[in-house]
A and B are shown apart, each in its own frame.
Chain A
Amino acid sequence: MDTRSGLRAWLVSPAVLVAFCICVALITVFQYSLRAYVPGSLDVGGLTLANFTGLNKPIYLDAFWNTLLLSAETTVLSLLVAYPLAYAMVRVRNRALKSFILIVSVTPLFLGEIVRTYSWIIVLGNNGFINTMLRKLGLIEWPLELMFTHLGVLVALVHVTIPVVVLMLATAISHIDRDYEKAAQSLGAGPIRTFLTVTLPLSMPGILASVTTAFAWTFSAFATPQMIGGGRVPTVSTLVYQLGFSSMNFPLAASLSVAGLALTAVALWGLGRMTRRLKAVGGH
């Protein structure tokens, strides 16, 4: 018993330490958000709520809306692309093909964020791969505006989110007992009906977990919206950076961070409420 308690303490202590550090950081950010900005100084002034009341300007509301929209769109699109990939990866019997799908799916994770983002600039730019191909095919005369747009940021975010969703879904799908599917088929269900009535509901816990992760992951994305957006697609994280590190207005940056954190919590809570029933469907 003593040995077990000791082992548990060893295992739990790093988590406690990390949690403590996160709490200290959050408290620091929170107290900064309630302090006045002093121009020309990094020191902050007295207590104030002005940082929060100033957040109702269109630019900040736009940033909140953009962030929510990008997170929701990225989550849905990633799920639509990742599910077939994860399904194929789990169910194909050919090991080489399985490995190929795995490599294709997770490669974006192994590229550095900056390298990956710069690659997208090359692909999406006026003289990039997509526009060049479309022009050569005679489909367009003038380049499509893909860089510094919501669409460009979305494409790049989906690309980086897919690996995470694939891995989570693959784990969920691999845990589905194939006997349920065989039972459905023995009762006359075709492959599509089996998938829709058995496989998909049973993979629901994985879908919900990946949706939650993808949403939160995208909400905090920084390098992609900053660089692909080129300052034209404001999100909460890019504004926090700009306010803090360009303007040195740490109190306003902190208040935006706190508001963003609260919005994430509310969004995830809402998502949890909406999907509670779906989660119950997948309980097996």
Chain B
Amino acid sequence: MIQKILTAGVLSSVLLAGAVQAEDALVISTWGGSFRDLIDENIGKEFTRQTGVPVKYITGGTIDRLNKAKLASTPESDLTFTTSHIGWLYVNGGLFEQLDTSKLTNYSHLVDRAKISPYHIGSWAYVYTIGYRPDLVPSSITFNSWNDLWNPELKGKIASPDFDPSHIIDIAAILSGGDASTWEKGQDKLKALKPNFKAFYTNDANSQQLISTGETPVQILLSMNAYHMVGQGVPIKVVMPKEGAVLGVDSMGIMKGSKKVDLAYKFMDIALSPEVQSKIVAYKKASPVVDNAKVSSEDAALPGVFTTKEQWATQAIVIDDKLRAEKTAEWRKWFTENIMN
């Protein structure tokens, strides 16, 4: 009997301790896999070290998390990481708290492209660009310009994301004398690229699989993903075309109704500190979003890792986030109907 009471007591204590810890923890909503690890390793651990507050992660797909946030009567997380244009959907839905930037020590060093809205700011940046396997394409092929993707020798060799065609739609528009807001100008140009597409990948893992097996030796891909594969021994060359590459910024915002707003600011503050930004660059080969982060010369030389004002100005092709959030469905529908099939 005494043994049973003791066991019950120990179990209750463990459960209670877990509940208390979960109650005390700062809850972060993020993607799963390597992005969760990136945040935990570089920001979360430092946050816990400085504050003593544990961090709990809620992971899921970009849209899944947005849907859950919209349906929740009280916020499930205190701070959310999402892509900048999806962040606008959080803003439009009234889900983010307006930021008091005076609480962010390093805010003055935040690059302009990371100042996305009064409600969400960048955490790191990357580009969607051309990555290819030099060992699997004819040696005569070079990629100095996005126009080189239209080379007939690349017939049936290219893959691009099926979840977001905005990059190649914008590029086709630019090459046709337009931009994202006049994207229709690039429709014919993009249709001419159709024979060169072999497949459309569903996610980063699918992209990795297709390029590492050589199934699609040329891809329009996420630079961080490409560098991850290079680190795994896949011989991928990442290109910075003369027109630049399409900028992506992952962002963070504090959930409206969070009871740990101050801790969420602290988390953001740590994320934007030069030291943590330096670690993020080294860890993921992302671009820092502050101009005072120290980046090794090897990482700074990588295409798509922006460390100077000039790089941000000349190499980043920017699609307006709000326009992108509004146009994604139209672009996606057109792409499915005219290019993918």
Residues of A within 8 A of B (CB): 37, 39-43, 57-59, 62, 118, 121-122, 125-128, 147-148, 226-227, 230-232, 234, 239, 242-249, 252
Contacts and interface: CB of A to CB of B under 8 A. Distances in A.
A239 B198 CA distance: 18
A243 B328 CA distance: 10
Contacts of B330: 39
A227 B162 CA distance: 11
B93 to A, nearest CB: 7
Task: Name A's interface SS.
Answer: loop
A242 B340 CA distance: 12
Given A57-B337, A147-B215, A226-B202, A37 B93 contact: no
A225 to B, nearest CB: 11
A241 to B, nearest CB: 9
B328 A247 contact: yes
Interface in B309-339: 322, 325-330, 332-333, 336-337
B213 interface: yes
Which 4 pairs across A and B sit closest by C-beta, in order of nearness? A231-B200, A230-B199, A40-B326, A247-B332
B138 to A, nearest CB: 15
Given A121-B213, A231-B200, A247 B340 contact: no
Most chain B beta carbons < 10 A, residue from A39, A148, A234: A148
A230 B213 contact: no
Contact of B61 (A57, A230, A242, A245): A245
B206 interface: yes
Nearest to A66: B341
B291 interface: no
Contacts of A231: 162, 199-202, 340
Interface of B: 61, 63-64, 66-67, 70, 88-89, 92-93, 159, 162-164, 198-202, 206, 209-210, 213-215, 322, 325-330, 332-333, 336-337, 340-341
Contact of A59 (B93, B159, B341): B341
A239 B336 CA distance: 9
9 contacts: A59-B337, A118-B209, A122-B213, A231-B199, A231-B201, A231-B340, A232-B200, A232-B341, A247-B329
B341 A234 contact: yes
B215 A248 contact: no
Contacts of A42: 66-67, 70, 89, 93
Which of A39, A122, A246, A249 has its CB near the most chain B CB atoms (within 10 A)?
A: A246
Given A248-B328, A248-B329, A40 B213 contact: no
Given A39-B330, A121-B209, 6 more contacts: A41-B92, A42-B93, A147-B199, A227-B202, A244-B63, A246-B163
Contacts, number: 99
Contacts of A246: 162-164, 328, 332
A172 B119 CA distance: 62
Nearest to B62: A245
Please report whether the interface of chain B is mostly helix, strand, loop or mixed according to DSSP. helix
Contacts of A127: 213-215
B277 to A, nearest CB: 30
Contacts of A39: 326-327, 329-330
Contacts of B327: 39
A242 B165 CA distance: 11
A143 B55 CA distance: 50
A39 B85 CA distance: 13
Contacts of B337: 57-59
A41 B209 CA distance: 33
User: Most chain-B Cβ atoms within 10 A of its Cβ — which of A232, A234, A239?
Assistant: A232
Contact of B333 (A40, A243, A245): A243
A59 B336 CA distance: 8
Contacts of A62: 341
Given A41-B89, A121-B213, A246-B164, A232 B329 contact: no
A161 B206 CA distance: 23
A118 B207 CA distance: 12
B94 to A, nearest CB: 11
B152 to A, nearest CB: 17
Contact of B340 (A43, A121, A122, A234): A234
A126 B214 contact: yes
Contact of B201 (A230, A243, A248, A252): A230
A226 B199 CA distance: 11
Contacts of B162: 231, 242, 246
Contacts of B209: 118, 121
A126 B70 contact: no
Given A121-B215, A122-B213, A148 B199 contact: yes
Given A39-B327, A40-B325, A59-B337, A230 B332 contact: no
A40 to B, nearest CB: 4
A260 to B, nearest CB: 16
Given A37-B329, A239-B336, A245-B63, A125 B199 contact: no
